[in-house]
Structure 1
Amino acid sequence: MEIKLLNPLDAESYWALRLEALKQNPEAFLTSYEEALKRENPVEECARNFTAAGNYTFGAFDNQELIGVVTLIQEKHMKIQHRANIFAMYVTPKKQGLGVGKALLTAAINKAKDIEVIEKINLGVTASNQKAKQLYHKLGFKTFGMEEKALIVDGVYYDDEYMVLHINKERKTT
């Protein structure tokens, strides 16, 4: 397995995996599969995102096949540039439980640590997703909040749990 930062040449395989993720786990993403299908030029949009400042999407490859992804996005506004967010974490079901998610998340955390101003990483996870929460806790994330009925999918409500990982320098807090 190889973990690498995705580039515009990976956009097509990323989009295919993204559609799989939206179909497999609709409760885990804000975008629905149906909404994603309606996007104009989604592959080109992904390619642009891969080169945007402060946007880092990592992919896990098994024999040149993209099997997992995670995106780290640094906040742009001056007052919150010390924060980054994890989005769109997904590993294809046939490769889950093999350390792919841990390797992806570790790459994203290490990237955040390399960016001097980033001090914390936030993420949201479906509260009932025990496997994901277990991984996040293992890597040092701590829960700081819960949103009840954050999503509704096919008439079923899902709660979101918000987690944070503090990294790099500590500043005085008031």
Structure 2
Amino acid sequence: MEIRLLTPADAQSYWTLRLEALKNHPEAFLSSYEESVRRENAVEQTAENFTTKANYTFGAYDQAQLVGVVTLLQEERKKIRHRANIFAMYVSPSKRGKGLGKALMTAAIQQAKAMKGIEKINLNVTATNQRAKQLYAKLGFQEFGLEKNALKVDDAYYDDLYMVLYLNEE
């Protein structure tokens, strides 16, 4: 298993895994599978995102196949530039339980620590996703809020749990 920063050359494999994530777990992502498959130039836009300043997407590879991803994005606006956010965390079901989620999150946290001025990392997770919540808590994230009915998928509502990791409290 290898964890590395993704580059524009990885955009197609990322997009394929992203669609898998949206299809398998519609409750875990703001984007829907249906909207995403209709996006024009999705791979090209993804490649461009991989070159955006303060936007880091890490991938977990198993024998040259992308099987997990996470994105760290620093806020741009002056008053909130001390914050970064974790987005789009996903590991393929067949590869879960092998430490890839922890390795991806650790890479993102280390990147944030290496960046000038980042003091905390925020993320949100579906409140019923016990495995993800446990992972984030083990890595030092603390709960700070709950948004009831944050997402509606078909006729089902899902709550979002908000978590934060303060980098200067270690």
* Class of the TM-score when normalised by the shorter of the 2 chains: over 0.9
1:111 partnered with 2:111: yes
Match of 1:151 in 2: 151
Match of 1:122 in 2: 122
Map 1:21-170 onto structure 2 (within 5 A): 21-168=21-168
The alpha-carbon deviation at position 116 of structure 1 amounts to 2.1
Q: 2: CA distance between counterparts of 1:29 and 1:61? A: 22
Tell me if structure 2 keeps the 8 A contact 1:116–1:168: no
Residue deviations 1:22-81, cap 9 Å, x none?
Answer: 000000000000000110000000000000001000000011000000000000001111
- Which sections of structure 1, spanning at least 5 residues, go unmatched? none
SS of the residue corresponding to residue 168 of structure 1 reads: helix
Residue deviations 1:93-127, cap 9 Å, x none?
Answer: 00001100000000000000001200000000000
The alpha-carbon deviation at position 169 of structure 1 amounts to 7.7
Runs of 4+ in 1 over 6 A off after TM superposition: none
Tell me if structure 2 keeps the 8 A contact 1:118–1:168: no
Q: Which amino acid aligns with 1:22?
A: L
Q: 2: CA distance between counterparts of 1:113 and 1:125? A: 22
Q: 2: CA distance between counterparts of 1:154 and 1:100? A: 30
**Identity rate of aligned residues, in percent?**
67
TM-score, normalised via structure 1 length: 0.96
TM-score, normalised via structure 2 length: 0.98
Q: 2: CA distance between counterparts of 1:141 and 1:168? A: 13
CA RMSD of aligned residues (A): 1.1
